[in-house]
Amino acid sequence: MPIDGVVTRNIASELKSTLTGGKIDKVSQPETDEVILSIRNKNENFRLLLSASPNYPRVHLTNTNKRNPINAPMFCMVLRKHIISGKIINIEQFNLDRIIKIYIECYDDLGILSNKILTCEIMGRHSNIILIDEKSNTVVDSIKHITSDMSSFRQIMPGIAYKYPPKQDKINPLEFNCDDLMERISKNTQDLKTEKFIANNIEGISIFASREIINNAGIGSGFSILNLSGEKTDALMDSVKAFIQKIIDKSFEPCIYYDDSHATDFYSFRLRYLGNFKSDSYKSISETIEKFFYNKDKADRIKQKSADILRVVNNNLNRCLKKLSIQKEKLLQCSSKDKWKINADLIMSNLYSIKKGDNNIKALNYFDEKGSFIDIPLDIMLTPVQNAQKYYKIYNKYKNAEKAVKVQEEENLNEIEYFENQLINLQNCTEDDEIEEIRNELVSQGYIKKRKKTASRKRTQSKPLHFVSESGTDIYVGKNNVQNDFLTFKLSNPSDIWMHTKNIPGSHVIIRTSNKAVDQKVIIEAASLAAFYSKAKNSSNVPVDYTERKNVKKPSGAKPGMVIYYTNKTIYITPDDNVISNMKRIE
């Protein structure tokens, strides 16, 4: 559910009561479109997240720590210059629009007290964070610059006067009058659903909120506004007024709605039309938004940061698959090599009956159990022996080609397996460091050009997933090849149990045995993890091999993550979210 004007009012109200009077101690910009302000107020520390992400724009208090780039972006430097040590004197929403304005009192370069406005526009891909000088109403800087080439109506560039986004012809609910809405209904000629009409004509009301309004009015979803009359019109007016009164009174009750175990929607009010969904209520809208968006936003950013690696892996995988097709075709051609040797052998066995100048010979094929005769074409310019040598040469050509292609095919199949594993690794990655490990691995293998050296912090090795089974046994899951090799050959002991999906790309899984026997339930739990973190995640009866770690070896010269093993057993498992959710995960 997108953040609408009602949710924005809830956010602004909460931030105003929590942060007004606070001092800005620190400004950081961990992402290109995200800023975090560290604020001290009433002997408490707060972290305010401002995001202009095109997919998940939002403003809320957060407890999440993010790693900052070693070189601060320009917008971050501008904010540090102007608002560090500044005092927040007010936070307000513009009308009932998705715009939050943070008024900051600070000193300029000359030591003169001045006011700045940090404006957050929460508008999908048009979202922005803009620092404005209040006195001159000019833009100091913004996290996204909007030039005249991008918008002829409104530019956002340093030194340009700030202008609000284009105003829509909608009713301001904070100044609501039933007559205005009735007039619009009477003048309307479009065959619109009632909920769509309400969302189109009242500012700050999203389609989700308008569905609640018509549900409370007893009007069915999809009912045309053209058919509205009499009692239904009165019921709609009463429902709109009641909903707007809740907005004015700020009677917020933030909650998240779940479909099965997945969060599907959230809102600042309880929505009766979603009564069949499981819901959780929260005291804070910030807590609600963070819980709803955190994993979605994190997955989206990981996807963006791994996009170039994914493209390289897919391109190389497609190249290998095309090469495999050519190799299969070549092997098919070589499979008929024996007929050339038979031709040569039959010519040599019938030399006495062949004369130079003959263009063919009909010979008994003594290699055929039925004793059939075959016609063998001859070159009239060659002697019988030379014709036989010609066929032997063709046979040897195909024989040698077949031998070489089989070696190339095996190497190509190993490369295909490697890239398919990398696709699974990219899906399993949840941290920036894990993406960088895959990038560095591909650089070392020669698939990606090495970047020019730039200043960067020393990276620590990422950690594999750590689960604890219901019986208390530690289970580890690798998320990329670096983690897989670390798990298998450094972290684990020879007596530990090693697991991997059979002939299917996936993660290495280690069960810590502590030199004790492992019961079957732990084997099933670990096998569920191996299947879940593999290409067969959505399949059933997935074969998972397991053996003692001492039976797993890494061949000399093998690519990262590639191993061989023996004396294994196989268990067939269907990945189950419930089994995995019952296991405790150690962060």
* CB-based burial, 268-288: b 16+ in 10 Å, e otherwise: bbebeebeeeebeebebbbbb
Instruction: List strand residue ranges (DSSP E) for 244-284, in order.
Output: 255-259, 262-267, 278-281
Assigned domain for 328 exists = yes
Amino acid at 58: R
Residues 6 or more apart whose CB falls under 8 angstroms from that of 364 comprise 346, 371, 372, 373
Residues 6 or more apart whose CB falls under 8 angstroms from that of 158 comprise 139, 140, 141, 142
Task: Tell me whether residue 113 is exposed, middle or buried, using C-beta atoms within 10 angstroms of its C-beta: 0 to 12, 13 to 18, 19 or more.
Answer: exposed
**Do 137 and 206 fall into the same domain?**
no
Find the CATH number of the domain harbouring 242.
1.10.8.50
Using pLDDT thresholds of 50, 70 and 90, give the confidence band for residue 437.
very high
Structure confidence by residue, pLDDT tens digits, 152-170: 889 999 999 999 998 888 9
Q: Which domain-ending residue is among 203, 234, 251?
A: 251
What mean pLDDT is predicted for residues 479-486?
A: 94
User: Looking at residue 536, what is its pLDDT?
Assistant: 93
**Do 132 and 186 fall into the same domain?**
no
What mean pLDDT is predicted for residues 251-278?
A: 89
Percent of the chain at pLDDT above 90? Answer: 66
Residue 189 pLDDT > 90: no
What mean pLDDT is predicted for residues 227-247?
A: 91
**Do 514 and 578 fall into the same domain?**
yes
Q: Which two tokens stand for residue 73?
A: 């972006």
Task: Tell me whether residue 160 is exposed, middle or buried, using C-beta atoms within 10 angstroms of its C-beta: 0 to 12, 13 to 18, 19 or more.
Answer: middle
Structure confidence by residue, pLDDT tens digits, 5-39: 999 999 999 999 999 999 999 999 999 999 999 99
Higher pLDDT pick, 498 / 220: 498
Structure confidence by residue, pLDDT tens digits, 365-384: 888 888 888 999 999 989 88
Into how many domains does the chain fold?
A: 4
β pairing state of 255-259 and 262-267: antiparallel
Assigned domain for 281 exists = no
Q: Which domain-ending residue is among 223, 251, 279?
A: 251
**Do 571 and 504 fall into the same domain?**
yes
Q: Is the dihedral of CA 342, 348, 352, 355 positive or negative?
A: positive
Using pLDDT thresholds of 50, 70 and 90, give the confidence band for residue 580.
confident
Distances (CA, A) of 70 to 37, 73, 178: 17, 9, 56
User: Looking at residue 454, what is its pLDDT?
Assistant: 58
User: Looking at residue 53, what is its pLDDT?
Assistant: 92
What mean pLDDT is predicted for residues 472-491?
A: 93
User: Looking at residue 585, what is its pLDDT?
Assistant: 87
Asked if residues 112 and 130 have their Cβ atoms less than 8 Å apart, the reply is no
The whole domain housing 336 covers 319-424
**Do 477 and 561 fall into the same domain?**
yes
Q: How many angstroms separate the CA atoms of 215 and 204, rounded?
A: 18
Distances (CA, A) of 409 to 49, 332, 537: 52, 13, 28
Rg (CA), the chain: 35
Q: How many angstroms separate the CA atoms of 587 and 433, rounded?
A: 15
What mean pLDDT is predicted for residues 324-352?
A: 92
Write the DSSP string, 107-157. E-TTS-EEEEEEEEE--GGG-EEEEEETTTTEEEEESS-B-TTT-SS--B-
Using pLDDT thresholds of 50, 70 and 90, give the confidence band for residue 513.
very high
User: Looking at residue 13, what is its pLDDT?
Assistant: 95
**Do 328 and 418 fall into the same domain?**
yes
**Mean of the per-residue pLDDT values of the chain:** 91
User: Looking at residue 140, what is its pLDDT?
Assistant: 95
Q: Supply the pTM of this predicted model.
A: 0.78
What mean pLDDT is predicted for residues 57-80?
A: 91
Q: Which two tokens stand for residue 521?
A: 């339930």
What mean pLDDT is predicted for residues 515-543?
A: 92
Using pLDDT thresholds of 50, 70 and 90, give the confidence band for residue 108.
confident
User: Looking at residue 459, what is its pLDDT?
Assistant: 64
**Do 137 and 179 fall into the same domain?**
no
Higher pLDDT pick, 221 / 452: 221
Q: How many angstroms separate the CA atoms of 523 and 572, rounded?
A: 11
**Do 338 and 240 fall into the same domain?**
no
What mean pLDDT is predicted for residues 59-74?
A: 90
Q: Is the dihedral of CA 186, 192, 193, 197 positive or negative?
A: negative
List phi, psi (to 5°) of 484: -60, -45
How many residues does this entry show for the chain?
587
Q: Which domain-ending residue is among 193, 216, 251?
A: 251
The 138-142 sheet, strands edge to edge: 58-61, 44-51, 34-41, 23-31, 87-93, 99-107, 113-121, 128-133, 138-142
Assigned domain for 166 exists = no
List phi, psi (to 5°) of 81: -65, -40
Residue 460 pLDDT > 80: no
Using pLDDT thresholds of 50, 70 and 90, give the confidence band for residue 364.
confident
Q: How many angstroms separate the CA atoms of 531 and 509, rounded?
A: 10
Using pLDDT thresholds of 50, 70 and 90, give the confidence band for residue 458.
low
Q: How many angstroms separate the CA atoms of 323 and 331, rounded?
A: 12
**Do 98 and 220 fall into the same domain?**
no
User: Looking at residue 320, what is its pLDDT?
Assistant: 95
